Structure 1
C-alpha cells in the first residue's frame, strides 16, 4: 500500500512540475538587468526575536510542581535576496520533569525556507488541509507548498505523527505505537471557482513496541482519508461551497481478513481486515452578500464513528443546520450578528436515546458616542433527548402502584449565557486619561425531566467586574483599581467570592527605559462548607537598557487561609519569573 501511495505522490509532483515549468516563462532579455538590480540591494536581512525565561516556585504545602523550570523560545527570519528562511524553536526542561512519558515532543525546532512561491517545512512542522482530513496536527518530518501564479496549487507532507512509547507501569504514561503520516492537497483556483482534492494516509508500526498494549486499549491502526471540496461564485454576491470526505480506518492491523468488507471510496485502496470501518462527512452552504451585511445557511452531516488520525480530536455522529447573518446599522455605529441552528445525533439509530438541540446566539456592538462603547451577547443552547426506559424495570414494577409507567423520559437541558460590557471614557487630556469599565456575565443551566427541574438540576453563575483606570502621562504613571463579585448557585449550594484589587505602574529613567509595577488584591470566598481568604502581592519590572533588549521580572506572593478542616489552614506560595527578550 505504501509503495502505491508513494508512487501516486511522485506522479502528482511530476505532473505539477511540468505544469509549473510551462507556466513560468522566463524573459531572457531582461534577466541580466533584473539580476544586477537585485544584487545592488541589501542581500541579507534578519528579523524576529529570541527569549529566555526561568520560573522559580516554592510552597509550604504543594510539592508536585518543580522548583525551577526554564523556557527558551525563538522566532528568526533569515533573508537572502528573494530567499527567506523562518526558524522557530521551543526548548524546555518541563517534559523531562514529568516522571512519565508521552508520545509527543516538548522541545521543538522548525525551519521553513521560502523562495518566491515555493515554501518548505522541516523539523517539527504544522500544516492544515481541511477539518475532516489533516487538521493542525504537529509532525516531525517535512512539507512542501507550491503556490505559483497559475491555478494549480500543491501542498505535501510526510513525517512522524507519534513516537513509540512503551508501557512503563506509570499510570500517567501514554503508551503509543510509532505512527507515520503522508498527505497531499491539490487545489485548482480560478476567479469564479475553486476545486480541491485531499489525500491523507497514516499507519502505525506494529513492531515499534516490544509488548502489546491491548489491555490498555492501544491498538496498531491504519487510516486513509480522501476528500473533495469546491467553492463556486454563482454571482458577485452569491457563493456556494461544500466538502465531502470519506475515511477508512483499520482499528487493528493484526486482525484477520475473515469477514472484511470494502465499503466506501477510501477502503478500495487499503488491504482490508475484519477491523476495517468506513465513514463519511459532508457539508455544504451558501452565502449571500448584501450592501450592509451578509446572510448564509450551512448544512453538515458527520457519520457516527467518523475519525481521522490526522487530527487531535474530532466530533462525530451529528447533523447541523445553521443560519447566520451579520449587518451594520445606524450609520455603521451598530454591528449585529446572529446565529441559529438545529443539531441532532444518533444518526444510525443505534443509541438508546437521541439528543437534539437548538443553538442560538446574538452579538451586538454599539458605539453610542465617542466616549461610550457597549457590547452585548446572548446565547441559548437547548438540548432535548428522549430515552426509552428499561423494559425489565417496567415488568418488575410493583403491581400495587396504580400510576402507569411512562414509555420514555423527556429530558431537556437549557443553557443560557449573557454578557454585557460597558466602557466609558471620563476624560482624555494631556494631563489626565480616565475611563471606567463594567462587565457582567450570567450563565444559567437547568435540567428538566418530564417538565420538572429536580433538586440539584439548576445552576446559575453571576459575575460582575468594575474597573477604573487613571493615566497621568506627565508623571508617566498609571493607576488601575478593580472590584470583582461572583455569585454561584449549583447543586443547591450557594457560594460567593468578592474582593478589590489595585495596581500601580510607573516609568523611570530617560526614554522610559525602566517600567515598574506593584499590585495587591484580596479575595474572600464564602460557602456553607468553608471560608477562604486569599491575599496576593505582585511586583513587576521591565528594563530596556538598549533599543532591542529588555529584561523582565515578575514576582507573586500568595497567602491563603481557610477554616476547612481537611485542608492545610495556611498556604504560602511564591512564583518568580525572570526573562530576557531580544528583537532583531
Structure 2
C-alpha cells in the first residue's frame, strides 16, 4: 500500500508540475518590453510603504476572582511595501500574550508576508491556503505558498509545517500533545471559455521519532496522508452549467503499522437560468470516516441531494429563494442506526423603497431514525409497545423576520425603527408522539428606535429585548431595556458613548437573576493618521432565591492605531 501511495503521488505531482510548467512558459515568453512603462519608472516612487499598526492593552478584574487572564496585550499590523507600484510585499503580524503560559499546536501569534508581482503572489510565514474542500482546505501552516495566474491558468503550491510539536504537560491535561507535522501540495486549474478542469495533490506526514511523551499511553499515533483531487465544469448550452469535484484520500492512521484506509468524496452540481428563474440540482457523497490532514474537520458518511430555486419579481423589489433536499447516512451499512433527514428552507426579501425593507427566512429539518427490525412491527400488540425503539424522528423548525424602516429623514434629524423576531423549535418524536421533556422552543424579540440629531451631533438609541426559552418542561423568560448615547465633538474628531442595559431572568414566573451593564467609551483622531480609543465597562450580577453570592467585573481597555 505504501508503494502504491508513492506511485500515486509521483504520477499526480509530475503531471500537475508538467501542466504548470506548460502554463507558465508561454506566459513568460509573451512578456514584451514596454518602453513607455520602463520610462515611466522615473516618475514613480522606488519604494512606497503604507499600512497600519495598532496596539491595545486590557485589564480585567472580578469579584469573586475568576480564572480569566487579568492583563492582556496585542500588537497587530498590516504593512505593504510597493516597489515602483508594480511589485508589492504585504506584511501582516499579530503578537499577543493570550495563553502565554500554554503551548498549542498552532500559536496565536502570527507573522506573514504576501509579496506579489503581476500574476505572481507568494505567502510566507504563518499563512493558510485552500486547494479544494476534499484535500487542502484552510489549514494554517508555517512555510511558503505560491499562487500563479498566467492567462487562463491558476497554479498553487505550498509547503511547510502544519502542526508544531506539543509535549505532554501533566499540570495542563486539557492541552493535547501533538506530533510535528509537515505537508506539501500542488494545484493546477485551467479555465476555458466554456469549460474548466483542474487537479490537486496534497501529502502530509508526522515526524514519528521526535516526541517526548508516551504516545500509546495517551492514545496518540503518528499519521500520514495522501490526498488527490480533480474538478471540472462545462457549459453544456447557453445558461446551463454543470460541474463536478472528486476527492481521494489515502490515510495511514499509524505510521508504525502498514494499515491504510482509502476514502472517496464526490460532488456534482447542475444549474440552469431561464427567463430570470434560477434552478439548481446538487448531489454529494462522502465516504464514512473521510478525512485528510489538510483540514481541521470533515463531515462524512452522508449522501446529500438538494434542489434550489430563486427568482426576483417586481423590478427586483421582491426576491424569493427556495431550497429542499434529503440526506442519509450509514452508507456502508455498519451502524446500528440509520438516519434520513429532510431539509427545506425559504427566503423572502421585500424592498418596496429605499426607506423600508423586510426579510423572512424559514427552515424545517426532519431526521428519521429506525433501529428496529421488521419483526418488531409484525409482533407489536399494543400502540405503545416498545415505543422507545421504533420510528424515531427529530424535528427542528426555525423562523426569522427582520424589518428596517426609515421613519423620518431631514437635515436636522433622522429617525429609524428596526425590529427582529427569531423562533426555533426542536423535538424528539417517536411514532406520532413527542417524547416527554424532549420539546424545546426558543423565541427572541428585539426592537430599536434611533434618533440622530445632526445639528447637535448627538445620536440616541433605545431598544427592548426579550427572549423566551422552553426546555425540560420549564419556561424561562429574559427581558430588559437598553439605552445608548453617542456624542461627536471637536469637529467630529472625538466621540464619546455611554451604554446602559438591564435585564431580568425569570423561571416559571419566579425571579432568578438580574444583570446590569454600564459601558463608557471614547475615541479621538488626531494628526490625520493617529487615533486613541479607551473604554471602561462594569457588569453586576445578582441572584435571587439561590445560594449564590453577587458577582461583578470591571474591564478597561486602551488602544492606539497609526495609519501611514
Bin the TM-score by the shorter chain.
Answer: over 0.9
Pick the aligned partner of 1:339 from 323, 328, 335.
Answer: 323
Pick the aligned partner of 1:543 from 524, 528, 532.
Answer: 524
> Paired residue for 1:91?
95
User: Per the alignment, do residues 18 and 337 of structure 1 end up closer, same or farther by CA in structure 2, a change over 3 Å counting?
Assistant: closer
> Paired residue for 2:303?
319
| Poorly superposed stretches of 4+, deviation over 6 Å | 1-4, 400-404
> Paired residue for 2:266?
282
2:382 and 2:354 map into 1 onto residues whose CA distance is 69
2:190 and 2:454 map into 1 onto residues whose CA distance is 55
Check the 8 A contact 1:426/1:435 in 2, yes or no.
Answer: yes
1:104 and 1:346 map into 2 onto residues whose CA distance is 33
After TM superposition, the score normalised by the length of structure 1 is 0.90
> Paired residue for 2:556?
576
Indicate the RMSD between aligned Cα atoms, in angstroms: 2.5
User: Per the alignment, do residues 123 and 316 of structure 1 end up closer, same or farther by CA in structure 2, a change over 3 Å counting?
Assistant: same
Pick the aligned partner of 2:439 from 458, 477, 502.
Answer: 458
1:220-276, CA deviations, whole angstroms, 9 ceiling, x for partnerless residues?
Answer: 001001111001111230110001111110111112xxxxxxxxxxxxxxxxx1x21
Please give the secondary structure, in 1, of the residue aligned with 2:39.
helix
1:142 and 1:317 map into 2 onto residues whose CA distance is 33
For 1:265-414, list aligned pairs within 5 A: 273=258, 275-388=259-372, 405=386, 408-414=389-395
Please give the secondary structure, in 1, of the residue aligned with 2:158.
strand
Please give the secondary structure, in 1, of the residue aligned with 2:289.
coil
Check the 8 A contact 2:242/2:269 in 1, yes or no.
Answer: yes
The alignment of Structure 1 onto Structure 2 pairs a total of residues equal to 555
Check the 8 A contact 1:164/1:176 in 2, yes or no.
Answer: yes
1:136-184, CA deviations, whole angstroms, 9 ceiling, x for partnerless residues?
Answer: 00000101111112x3321100010111111111221111111101111
> Paired residue for 2:460?
479
2:18 and 2:153 map into 1 onto residues whose CA distance is 13
Pick the aligned partner of 1:518 from 498, 514, 531.
Answer: 498
1:405 and 1:444 map into 2 onto residues whose CA distance is 26
> Paired residue for 2:69?
66
Specify every segment of 5 or more residues in structure 2 that has no aligned partner in the other structure, as ranges. none
1:12-31, CA deviations, whole angstroms, 9 ceiling, x for partnerless residues?
Answer: 55663454233333576x54
For 1:117-266, list aligned pairs within 5 A: 117-149=119-151, 151-169=152-170, 170-255=172-257
For 1:442-457, list aligned pairs within 5 A: 442-457=423-438
1:330 and 1:580 map into 2 onto residues whose CA distance is 49
User: Per the alignment, do residues 118 and 6 of structure 1 end up closer, same or farther by CA in structure 2, a change over 3 Å counting?
Assistant: farther
> Paired residue for 2:414?
433
Deviation for aligned residue 1:371: 2.6
1:178-210, CA deviations, whole angstroms, 9 ceiling, x for partnerless residues?
Answer: 110111101122111110110010101111212
2:94 and 2:486 map into 1 onto residues whose CA distance is 31
2:15 and 2:479 map into 1 onto residues whose CA distance is 66
Check the 8 A contact 1:237/1:289 in 2, yes or no.
Answer: yes
2:247 and 2:555 map into 1 onto residues whose CA distance is 48
User: Per the alignment, do residues 402 and 3 of structure 1 end up closer, same or farther by CA in structure 2, a change over 3 Å counting?
Assistant: closer
Check the 8 A contact 1:335/1:365 in 2, yes or no.
Answer: yes
After TM superposition, the score normalised by the length of structure 2 is 0.93
1:275-296, CA deviations, whole angstroms, 9 ceiling, x for partnerless residues?
Answer: 2111100011101123324110
Please give the secondary structure, in 1, of the residue aligned with 2:29.
coil
2:419 and 2:278 map into 1 onto residues whose CA distance is 31
> Paired residue for 1:264?
none
Deviation for aligned residue 1:331: 1.6
